[in-house]
């Protein structure tokens, strides 16, 4: 309102000068004096109106309120039928944003206006202010196109005054943006627009331009403020959700600051460890009493690695609760580093795994107990096997001795020469049987101690095997067995002759014992990448579940009459050890009432 006061002072001064002029010149016509006074009054009225509009503009940052005040004030000041503000939409179209119109005339507020009239050569965004104005006293005499004339007729316009509203005028007077138009319409009759009226409209367009920019800046600032508030609200919601999840998480959440001091101690940490957040916030690791002493170096190592740039690690250690209970915990630690690699904070997610550790310990204890029970059972089994072996050996040793003792007694009783010869034969056979049993025991002991000497020599199997099997021919005939040798070609082998003989004798002896009358035994030799010596017989089968144990020491198949016909239980175990001793391997296959022992030996190295 200061501008209004200045205008009043100017008018008073001008009126004073006018009175002085009248007193000096009585020749001045009264009509001109009155005209001059009227002009001054109108000017003062315009200035007051502009000041009022400017005041209302400055009082509000709401663009619509500003425009409504401006058009209403201008219409009353100019005493026209319509004043409107049109904002450009596109290159040649606009929308009426504000309008003040006398009753009885067409209302254009909110309508879209197309085919707006511009001076020749002007385009939206290029028109300068005040480079052009549009003042038409009679629209029918202005040479307008039919399109423009029809547009004005729809609005009942007889005379029109239009000035541009320009935003962001540069220092050289050029516009950076043509925002819209300030329009005054006379609808009842033609009107010749005064320069003062045009000037008034142009001055008001400048004020509207400033108001639009202020309102736009305010709207942008308000939008930014609202966006910032929305972001802050979302951040608060996110923090609330995070805090809710942290406080209700089944995991313990502990946060450490850049100095590795506790900055967060979650509710689960309070529940598990027993200390409150108030007791723990600000504490250093070395101040904490919940780390077991033996695990303290490991914790220090983890923290040092995080300080030195390691972004994550997983560790296990034992912790104390406030009551002194040991808690097994798994720690998931992650470090937040700044751009320079310096530590900002550490987040530790801690899981109480005490129940899992105890369950694992119980499982391991149960597993150890089971293993011990298996070992005890195996020891009992071995003990039983040894007892059975000792009983068998005792029986096997006593039987020849008893026969020898009986033969000697019969010879001392004065038997005839024929009977004495028979008793000597029995005595000789039982001596050999006793010697063989003792040798088996001694060889087994030497093999166990890895002290059995080996003397390799070149052996022709097609010669050796028939010689080994010769004593079994008569035995096979007595048991009605077919004993067959299957050697297609001369096969030479470098091995220990005595070991090889003992192996074959044991295998063929077993085959003779367990092959029923009418059965067949085949001893075969094949040469491939190794030398295979096999002993096959039919009429008997080893159960599949017993095959893995067949070469075990003292092992005998329980409840199987065919495979428990005498012997000490050392035979096949001794065979396995002898085969291994001469550098070979042995396996057994048994199915469809047939059994095959296959011994594989390396080929001789040619000089």
Residues 332 and 458 grouped into a single domain:
no
Q: Give percent of the chain with pLDDT exceeding 70.
A: 77
Position with higher pLDDT, 92 vs 564: 92
Cα distances (Å, whole numbers) of residue 494 to 220, 582, 605: 103, 9, 8
Whether the predicted pLDDT of 22 surpasses 70? no
Residues 478 and 369 grouped into a single domain:
no
pLDDT grade for 149, boundaries at 50, 70 and 90? confident
Residues 421 and 291 grouped into a single domain:
no
Angle at 391 between CA 387 and CA 393, to 5 degrees: 115
Residues 124 and 269 grouped into a single domain:
no
The stretch 319-341 carries a mean pLDDT of 86
Q: Report the pLDDT value the prediction gives residue 400, as an integer from 0 to 100.
A: 66
Residue 70, token pair as written in the block: 């401006």
Considering the domain boundaries, does residue 130 fall inside one?
Answer: yes
Domain boundary pick from 352, 370, 399:
352
Position with higher pLDDT, 50 vs 144: 144
pLDDT grade for 509, boundaries at 50, 70 and 90? confident
Lowest-confidence region among 106-115, 124-133, 317-326, 515-524: 124-133
> 536 — phi, psi (to 5°)?
-115, 140
Residues 423 and 458 grouped into a single domain:
no
Q: Which residues have C-beta within 8 Å of that of residue 200, sequence separation ≥ 6?
A: 46, 50, 74, 77, 78
d(CA 210, CA 169): 10
Structural domains counted in the chain: 4
Whether the predicted pLDDT of 160 surpasses 60? yes
Position with higher pLDDT, 372 vs 552: 372
Residues 473 and 420 grouped into a single domain:
no
Lowest-confidence region among 107-111, 115-119, 121-125, 518-522: 121-125
Residue 145's domain comprises 60-219
Q: Give the CA diameter of the chain.
A: 204
Sheet holding 594-601, edge to edge: 482-487, 520-527, 531-538, 594-601, 585-591
pLDDT tens, 387-442? 666 666 666 666 666 666 666 766 666 667 777 777 677 677 667 666 766 676 66
Give the chain's mean pLDDT. Answer: 80
The stretch 534-558 carries a mean pLDDT of 84
d(CA 600, CA 153): 120
Q: Report the pLDDT value the prediction gives residue 417, as an integer from 0 to 100.
A: 73
Considering the domain boundaries, does residue 229 fall inside one?
Answer: no
Contact (CB, 8 A) for 192 and 200: no
Position with higher pLDDT, 252 vs 309: 252
Considering the domain boundaries, does residue 71 fall inside one?
Answer: yes
Contact (CB, 8 A) for 583 and 601: yes
CATH number of the domain enclosing 388:
1.10.287.130
Whether the predicted pLDDT of 329 surpasses 80? yes
pLDDT grade for 532, boundaries at 50, 70 and 90? very high
pLDDT tens, 554-577? 676 655 543 344 455 677 888 888
Residues 438 and 511 grouped into a single domain:
no
Considering the domain boundaries, does residue 303 fall inside one?
Answer: yes
The stretch 68-89 carries a mean pLDDT of 89
Residues 140 and 187 grouped into a single domain:
yes
Considering the domain boundaries, does residue 164 fall inside one?
Answer: yes
Position with higher pLDDT, 329 vs 16: 329
Rg (CA), the chain: 61
Residues 253 and 323 grouped into a single domain:
yes
Residue 407 Cα to chain centre, angstroms? 89
CATH number of the domain enclosing 151:
3.30.450.40
Whether the predicted pLDDT of 506 surpasses 60? yes
The stretch 239-243 carries a mean pLDDT of 83
Residues 282 and 382 grouped into a single domain:
no
Domain boundary pick from 334, 352, 370:
352
pLDDT tens, 244-264? 887 888 888 988 888 888 999
Contact (CB, 8 A) for 165 and 177: no
Domain boundary pick from 326, 352, 378:
352
Q: Report the pLDDT value the prediction gives residue 212, as an integer from 0 to 100.
A: 85
User: Which uninterrupted H or E stretch holds 32?
Assistant: helix 30-59
Residues 168 and 293 grouped into a single domain:
no
Contact (CB, 8 A) for 505 and 555: no
């Amino acid at each position: 309102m200061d501008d209004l006061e200045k205008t009043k002072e100017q008018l008073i001064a001008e009126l004073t000068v006018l009175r002085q002029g009248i007193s000096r010149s009585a020749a001045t016509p009264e009509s001109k004096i009155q005209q001059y006074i009227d002009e001054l009054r109108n000017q003062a009225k315009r200035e007051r109106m502009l000041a009022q509009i400017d005041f209302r503009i400055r009082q509000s940052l709401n663009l619509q309120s500003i425009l409504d005040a401006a058009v209403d004030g201008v219409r009353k000041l100019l005493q026209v039928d319509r004043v409107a503000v049109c904002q450009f939409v596109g290159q040649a179209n606009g929308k009426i944003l504000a309008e003040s119109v006398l009753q009885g005339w067409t209302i254009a507020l909110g309508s879209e206006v197309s085919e707006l009239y511009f001076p020749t050569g002007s385009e939206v965004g290029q028109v300068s202010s005040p480079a052009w104005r549009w003042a038409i006293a009679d629209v029918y005499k202005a040479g307008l196109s039919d399109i423009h004339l029809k547009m004005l007729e729809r609005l009942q316009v007889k005379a029109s005054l239009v000035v541009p509203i320009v935003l962001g005028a540069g220092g050289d007077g050029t516009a950076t943006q043509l925002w819209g138009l300030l329009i005054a319409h006379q609808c009842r009759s033609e009107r010749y627009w005064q320069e003062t009226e045009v000037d008034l409209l142009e001055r008001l367009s400048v004020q509207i331009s400033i108001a639009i920019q202020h309102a736009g800046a305010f709207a942008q600032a308000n939008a930014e403020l609202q966006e910032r508030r929305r972001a802050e609200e979302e951040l608060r919601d996110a923090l609330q959700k995070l805090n809710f999840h942290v406080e209700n998480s089944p995991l313990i959440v502990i946060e450490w600051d850049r100095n590795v001091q506790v900055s967060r101690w979650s509710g689960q940490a309070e529940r598990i460890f027993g200390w409150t957040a108030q007791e723990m916030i600000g504490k250093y690791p070395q101040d904490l009493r919940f780390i077991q002493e033996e695990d303290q170096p490991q914790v220090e190592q983890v923290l040092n690695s995080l300080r030195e740039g390691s972004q994550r690690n997983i560790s296990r250690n034992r912790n104390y609760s406030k009551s002194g209970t040991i808690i097994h915990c798994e720690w998931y630690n992650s470090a937040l580093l700044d751009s320079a690699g310096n530590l900002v904070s550490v987040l530790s997610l801690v899981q109480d795994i005490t129940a899992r550790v105890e369950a694992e310990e119980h499982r391991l204890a149960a597993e150890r107990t089971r293993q011990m029970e298996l070992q005890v059972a195996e020891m009992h089994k071995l003990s039983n096997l040894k007892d059975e072996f000792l009983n068998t050996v005792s029986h096997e040793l006593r039987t020849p001795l008893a026969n020898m003792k009986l033969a000697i007694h019969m010879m001392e009783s004065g038997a005839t020469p024929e009977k004495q010869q028979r008793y000597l034969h029995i005595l000789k056979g039982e001596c050999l049987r006793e010697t063989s049993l003792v040798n088996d025991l001694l060889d087994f002991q030497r093999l166990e101690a890895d002290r059995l000497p080996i003397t390799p020599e070149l052996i022709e199997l097609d010669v050796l095997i028939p010689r080994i099997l010769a004593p079994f021919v008569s035995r096979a005939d007595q048991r009605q067995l077919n004993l067959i040798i299957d050697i297609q070609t001369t096969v030479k082998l470098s091995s220990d002759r005595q070991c090889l003989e003992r192996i074959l004798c044991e295998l063929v002896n077993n085959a003779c014992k367990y092959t029923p009358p009418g059965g067949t035994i085949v001893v075969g030799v094949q040469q491939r990448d190794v030398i295979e010596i096999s002993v096959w017989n039919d009429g008997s089968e080893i159960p599949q579940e017993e095959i893995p144990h067949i070469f075990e020491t003292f092992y005998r198949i329980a409840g199987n009459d065919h495979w428990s016909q005498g012997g000490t239980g050392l035979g096949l175990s001794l065979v396995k050890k002898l085969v291994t001793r001469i550098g070979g391997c042995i396996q057994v296959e048994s199915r469809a009432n047939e059994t095959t022992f296959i011994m594989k030996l390396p080929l001789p190295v040619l000089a």
